[in-house]
Amino acid sequence: MSARARRERSTELIANFVDDFADGWHMAVRESFKEELDIKLTDRKKNKIAYKEWTQGPDFCFSEGQILYDSKQGYSNWQNATAHIKLAYQIVEATPNIPEKIVNEQTGKNSFRTSDGYVKFVLYKPNADRDNLIAIVGYHMTQNQFVKLLQSGDLE
């Protein structure tokens, strides 16, 4: 069995999606980003009854080319979107978090840890006419830090 399959996944999700977006997050993160947030429908069994349950893991995997806006309207018609967007993040390079299996040679038991991936992205803001976005500054951080940024908006 693979390292990924044997690790415990939490039923406490980092995002609650309401009307297709992560509720209460600083950035408008769509439900379509569940895979990047390592939120998956997981097979479970209780009292010999199989069922599926949403679970959370640590393997964040945002990737190059993805754009996230601070406004839900950012994902709509562009003429309408630019009037609402205050900032956007476009990922220009990234590596995913990767699970690593560690074998205790004395006990033979396995444990797991996550090797941090990273995200390089450019912060965009609207131009004076609010008809386009312009690049302001680039950032480099871990996948975990990037997810916290999406939640809080706090650039450390």
Domain ranges of the chain: 3-152
Average pLDDT of the segment spanning 93-110: 89
How many Cβ atoms from other residues are within 10 Å of residue 80's Cβ?
10
For residue range 16-71, list pLDDT tens digits in order. Answer: 999 999 999 999 999 999 999 999 999 999 999 999 999 999 999 999 999 999 99
Binning pLDDT at 50, 70 and 90, where does residue 113 land? Answer: confident
Given a cut of 60, whether residue 4 has pLDDT beyond it is no
Tell whether pTM > 0.95. Answer: no
pLDDT of residue 3: 40
Given a cut of 70, whether residue 1 has pLDDT beyond it is no
User: Among residues of the chain, what percentage have pLDDT more than 70?
Assistant: 95
Q: Are 124 and 88 in contact (CB under 8 A)?
A: yes
How many Cβ atoms from other residues are within 10 Å of residue 56's Cβ?
17
pLDDT of residue 5: 40
How far apart CA 156 and CA 136 sit, in angstroms, is: 16
pLDDT of residue 156: 66
pLDDT of residue 80: 85
